[in-house]
Protein backbone atom coordinates (compact mmCIF):
# COMPACT_ATOMS: atom_id res chain seq x y z
CA UNK A 1 0.00 0.00 0.00
CA UNK A 2 1.31 3.42 -0.98
CA UNK A 3 0.75 6.48 1.16
CA UNK A 4 -0.05 9.33 -1.20
CA UNK A 5 -0.87 13.01 -0.81
CA UNK A 6 -3.34 14.32 -3.39
CA UNK A 7 -3.88 18.02 -4.06
CA UNK A 8 -6.91 18.33 -6.32
CA UNK A 9 -9.32 20.87 -7.77
CA UNK A 10 -12.91 20.79 -6.53
CA UNK A 11 -13.91 20.41 -10.17
CA UNK A 12 -13.08 16.74 -9.50
CA UNK A 13 -14.47 16.59 -5.96
CA UNK A 14 -17.18 13.95 -6.30
CA UNK A 15 -15.10 11.82 -8.64
CA UNK A 16 -12.05 11.73 -6.40
CA UNK A 17 -14.20 11.17 -3.29
CA UNK A 18 -15.70 8.11 -4.97
CA UNK A 19 -12.42 6.66 -6.17
CA UNK A 20 -10.22 7.38 -3.14
CA UNK A 21 -12.77 5.68 -0.87
CA UNK A 22 -12.40 2.47 -2.87
CA UNK A 23 -8.62 2.70 -3.46
CA UNK A 24 -6.28 0.24 -1.78
CA UNK A 25 -3.72 3.00 -1.30
CA UNK A 26 -3.89 5.53 1.52
CA UNK A 27 -4.77 8.78 -0.24
CA UNK A 28 -4.82 11.95 1.86
CA UNK A 29 -6.66 14.66 -0.09
CA UNK A 30 -6.61 18.46 -0.01
CA UNK A 31 -9.09 20.18 -2.32
CA UNK A 32 -8.59 23.70 -3.67
CA UNK A 33 -11.50 25.77 -4.90
CA UNK A 34 -12.46 25.58 -8.55
CA UNK A 35 -11.65 28.58 -10.73
CA UNK A 36 -8.05 29.24 -9.70
CA UNK A 37 -6.97 28.31 -13.23
CA UNK A 38 -8.76 31.42 -14.48
CA UNK A 39 -5.71 33.22 -13.07
CA UNK A 40 -2.88 30.73 -13.77
CA UNK A 41 -0.37 32.63 -11.63
CA UNK A 42 -2.71 32.38 -8.65
CA UNK A 43 -3.22 28.65 -9.21
CA UNK A 44 0.53 28.14 -9.46
CA UNK A 45 1.16 30.06 -6.25
CA UNK A 46 -1.55 28.19 -4.37
CA UNK A 47 -0.25 24.77 -5.47
CA UNK A 48 3.38 25.61 -4.71
CA UNK A 49 2.34 26.89 -1.29
CA UNK A 50 0.61 23.59 -0.51
CA UNK A 51 3.59 21.59 -1.77
CA UNK A 52 6.02 23.62 0.33
CA UNK A 53 3.91 23.09 3.45
CA UNK A 54 3.82 19.34 2.83
CA UNK A 55 7.59 19.33 2.30
CA UNK A 56 8.18 21.05 5.64
CA UNK A 57 5.59 19.03 7.57
CA UNK A 58 3.60 22.17 8.35
CA UNK A 59 0.56 21.43 6.19
CA UNK A 60 -2.49 21.61 8.47
CA UNK A 61 -4.58 19.50 6.08
CA UNK A 62 -2.34 16.45 5.92
CA UNK A 63 -1.80 13.43 8.11
CA UNK A 64 1.50 14.11 9.84
CA UNK A 65 4.18 11.66 8.61
CA UNK A 66 5.21 9.99 11.86
CA UNK A 67 6.54 6.54 12.69
CA UNK A 68 7.93 5.98 9.21
CA UNK A 69 4.55 6.65 7.61
CA UNK A 70 5.65 9.38 5.25
CA UNK A 71 4.14 10.03 1.85
CA UNK A 72 5.51 8.16 -1.14
CA UNK A 73 4.54 10.94 -3.57
CA UNK A 74 2.46 14.07 -4.00
CA UNK A 75 -0.23 13.74 -6.67
CA UNK A 76 -1.52 16.81 -8.48
CA UNK A 77 -5.16 16.38 -9.47
CA UNK A 78 -4.91 18.90 -12.30
CA UNK A 79 -4.24 19.02 -15.99
CA UNK A 80 -2.02 21.64 -17.56
CA UNK A 81 -4.81 24.10 -16.67
CA UNK A 82 -3.66 27.20 -18.55
CA UNK A 83 -0.04 26.48 -17.57
CA UNK A 84 -0.98 26.73 -13.90
CA UNK A 85 1.20 23.73 -12.97
CA UNK A 86 4.32 24.84 -14.89
CA UNK A 87 7.33 25.36 -12.62
CA UNK A 88 5.98 23.37 -9.67
CA UNK A 89 8.45 21.30 -7.69
CA UNK A 90 8.82 19.48 -4.38
CA UNK A 91 12.09 19.49 -2.48
CA UNK A 92 11.26 16.25 -0.68
CA UNK A 93 8.78 14.17 -2.67
CA UNK A 94 8.28 13.06 -6.23
CA UNK A 95 5.37 14.79 -7.94
CA UNK A 96 2.97 12.87 -10.15
CA UNK A 97 0.55 14.57 -12.52
CA UNK A 98 -1.53 13.44 -15.52
CA UNK A 99 -0.51 14.48 -19.02
CA UNK A 100 -3.77 16.21 -19.88
CA UNK A 101 -4.74 19.73 -20.86
CA UNK A 102 -7.45 19.93 -18.23
CA UNK A 103 -9.74 17.79 -16.11
CA UNK A 104 -12.09 16.77 -18.94
CA UNK A 105 -9.48 14.37 -20.31
CA UNK A 106 -9.30 12.78 -16.87
CA UNK A 107 -13.07 12.37 -16.68
CA UNK A 108 -13.25 10.89 -20.19
CA UNK A 109 -10.48 8.43 -19.37
CA UNK A 110 -7.80 9.70 -21.74
CA UNK A 111 -6.33 12.87 -23.16
CA UNK A 112 -6.60 11.38 -26.68
CA UNK A 113 -10.33 10.79 -26.37
CA UNK A 114 -10.80 14.40 -25.29
CA UNK A 115 -8.73 15.77 -28.18
CA UNK A 116 -10.55 13.60 -30.72
CA UNK A 117 -13.93 14.85 -29.51
CA UNK A 118 -12.75 18.46 -29.54
CA UNK A 119 -11.50 18.06 -33.13
CA UNK A 120 -14.91 16.81 -34.22
CA UNK A 121 -16.96 19.20 -32.11
CA UNK A 122 -15.27 22.57 -31.54
CA UNK A 123 -17.29 25.02 -29.51
CA UNK A 124 -18.29 22.51 -26.82
CA UNK A 125 -18.96 23.56 -23.24
CA UNK A 126 -18.46 20.71 -20.78
CA UNK A 127 -20.69 19.90 -17.82
CA UNK A 128 -19.94 17.48 -14.98
CA UNK A 129 -21.49 17.02 -11.51
CA UNK A 130 -18.54 18.59 -9.68
CA UNK A 131 -18.30 21.49 -12.13
CA UNK A 132 -22.00 22.24 -11.76
CA UNK A 133 -21.75 22.19 -7.98
CA UNK A 134 -18.50 24.12 -7.59
CA UNK A 135 -18.38 26.57 -10.49
CA UNK A 136 -20.40 29.05 -12.50
CA UNK A 137 -21.52 26.84 -15.37
CA UNK A 138 -23.57 28.55 -18.10
CA UNK A 139 -27.32 28.22 -17.60
CA UNK A 140 -30.38 30.41 -17.29
CA UNK A 141 -30.17 30.05 -13.51
CA UNK A 142 -26.55 31.17 -13.43
CA UNK A 143 -27.14 34.08 -15.77
CA UNK A 144 -30.00 35.34 -13.63
CA UNK A 145 -27.94 35.04 -10.45
CA UNK A 146 -25.05 36.94 -11.98
CA UNK A 147 -27.41 39.59 -13.29
CA UNK A 148 -28.95 40.04 -9.83
CA UNK A 149 -25.56 40.19 -8.13
CA UNK A 150 -24.09 42.71 -10.58
CA UNK A 151 -27.24 44.86 -10.68
CA UNK A 152 -27.00 45.32 -6.91
CA UNK A 153 -23.33 46.28 -7.21
CA UNK A 154 -23.10 48.21 -10.46
CA UNK A 155 -26.58 49.11 -11.69
CA UNK A 156 -28.78 47.48 -14.32
CA UNK A 157 -27.09 48.71 -17.52
CA UNK A 158 -23.58 47.88 -16.33
CA UNK A 159 -24.78 44.53 -15.03
CA UNK A 160 -26.08 43.42 -18.42
CA UNK A 161 -22.81 44.33 -20.09
CA UNK A 162 -20.72 42.58 -17.42
CA UNK A 163 -22.77 39.38 -17.59
CA UNK A 164 -22.50 39.16 -21.37
CA UNK A 165 -18.76 39.87 -21.18
CA UNK A 166 -18.14 37.33 -18.42
CA UNK A 167 -20.13 34.52 -20.01
CA UNK A 168 -18.56 34.94 -23.49
CA UNK A 169 -20.68 32.17 -24.99
CA UNK A 170 -20.94 33.26 -28.60
CA UNK A 171 -18.38 30.67 -29.78
CA UNK A 172 -20.15 27.72 -28.13
CA UNK A 173 -22.57 25.49 -30.02
CA UNK A 174 -22.87 22.38 -27.90
CA UNK A 175 -23.26 21.28 -24.27
CA UNK A 176 -21.60 17.97 -23.41
CA UNK A 177 -22.38 16.24 -20.13
CA UNK A 178 -19.82 13.70 -18.90
CA UNK A 179 -21.79 10.92 -17.22
CA UNK A 180 -20.19 8.32 -14.97
CA UNK A 181 -22.32 5.25 -14.27
CA UNK A 182 -20.87 5.35 -10.75
CA UNK A 183 -22.35 8.84 -10.17
CA UNK A 184 -25.92 8.59 -11.50
CA UNK A 185 -27.12 12.09 -10.61
CA UNK A 186 -30.12 12.82 -12.79
CA UNK A 187 -30.47 16.42 -11.61
CA UNK A 188 -27.02 17.36 -12.89
CA UNK A 189 -27.74 16.03 -16.35
CA UNK A 190 -31.08 17.80 -16.38
CA UNK A 191 -29.27 21.03 -15.54
CA UNK A 192 -26.98 20.56 -18.57
CA UNK A 193 -29.94 19.77 -20.81
CA UNK A 194 -31.80 22.90 -19.70
CA UNK A 195 -28.70 24.99 -20.35
CA UNK A 196 -28.37 23.61 -23.88
CA UNK A 197 -32.04 24.35 -24.59
CA UNK A 198 -31.79 27.86 -23.15
CA UNK A 199 -28.74 28.82 -25.23
CA UNK A 200 -29.94 27.01 -28.35
CA UNK A 201 -27.04 24.53 -28.30
CA UNK A 202 -26.89 20.90 -29.34
CA UNK A 203 -26.73 18.49 -26.44
CA UNK A 204 -24.57 15.42 -26.03
CA UNK A 205 -24.32 12.89 -23.22
CA UNK A 206 -20.86 11.29 -23.12
CA UNK A 207 -20.04 8.25 -21.06
CA UNK A 208 -17.04 8.99 -18.85
CA UNK A 209 -14.45 6.45 -17.77
CA UNK A 210 -12.88 6.04 -14.34
CA UNK A 211 -9.77 4.16 -15.49
CA UNK A 212 -7.26 6.99 -15.78
CA UNK A 213 -8.08 8.44 -12.37
CA UNK A 214 -8.11 4.97 -10.81
CA UNK A 215 -4.63 4.31 -12.19
CA UNK A 216 -3.51 7.76 -11.03
CA UNK A 217 -4.34 7.20 -7.36
CA UNK A 218 -3.59 3.49 -7.64
CA UNK A 219 0.09 4.18 -8.41
CA UNK A 220 -0.03 2.67 -11.90
CA UNK A 221 1.96 5.45 -13.54
CA UNK A 222 2.70 4.72 -17.17
CA UNK A 223 3.24 7.07 -20.12
CA UNK A 224 -0.05 8.85 -19.36
CA UNK A 225 1.50 10.39 -16.26
CA UNK A 226 4.54 12.52 -15.49
CA UNK A 227 6.62 11.48 -12.48
CA UNK A 228 8.98 14.27 -11.40
CA UNK A 229 11.86 13.48 -9.02
CA UNK A 230 12.36 15.64 -5.91
CA UNK A 231 14.03 18.93 -6.74
CA UNK A 232 13.01 18.86 -10.41
CA UNK A 233 10.21 20.97 -11.82
CA UNK A 234 7.43 20.68 -14.38
CA UNK A 235 7.78 22.41 -17.71
CA UNK A 236 5.60 22.58 -20.82
CA UNK A 237 6.26 20.17 -23.66
CA UNK A 238 5.48 21.45 -27.15
CA UNK A 239 6.25 18.17 -28.91
CA UNK A 240 3.03 16.36 -28.04
CA UNK A 241 3.48 15.25 -24.43
CA UNK A 242 1.90 18.39 -22.86
CA UNK A 243 4.30 18.42 -19.88
CA UNK A 244 7.75 17.05 -19.04
CA UNK A 245 10.43 17.20 -16.36
CA UNK A 246 12.70 20.23 -16.75
CA UNK A 247 16.36 19.34 -17.32
Which segment of 50-59, 146-155, 162-171, 215-224 scores lowest on mean pLDDT? 162-171
Name the pairing type of β-strands 242-245 and 234-237.
antiparallel
**Which tens digit of pLDDT belongs to each residue from 2-14?**
999 999 999 999 9
Q: What is the pLDDT of residue 206?
A: 97
Closest C-alpha among 84, 22, 61 to residue 213: 22
The pLDDT confidence band at residue 53, using thresholds 50, 70 and 90, is: very high
Whether this prediction's pTM lies above 0.95 is answered by no
Contacts of 53 (CB under 8 A, 6+ apart): 59, 60, 62
Per the CB < 8 A criterion, the answer to whether 18 and 107 are in contact is no
Closest C-alpha among 52, 61, 122, 140 to residue 88: 52
**Which tens digit of pLDDT belongs to each residue from 230-240?**
999 999 998 88
Q: What is the pLDDT of residue 76?
A: 98
**Which tens digit of pLDDT belongs to each residue from 129-172?**
999 999 888 999 988 988 999 999 999 888 888 888 877 788 89
More confident residue, 51 or 40: 51
Amino acid sequence: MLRLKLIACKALYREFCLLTAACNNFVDVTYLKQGLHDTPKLLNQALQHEIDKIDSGDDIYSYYPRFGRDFYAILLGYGLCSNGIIGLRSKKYQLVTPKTDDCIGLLLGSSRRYKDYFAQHPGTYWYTPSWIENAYTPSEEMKNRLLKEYTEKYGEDNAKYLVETELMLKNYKRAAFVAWDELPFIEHEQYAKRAAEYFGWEYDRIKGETGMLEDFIGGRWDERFLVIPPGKMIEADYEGNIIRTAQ
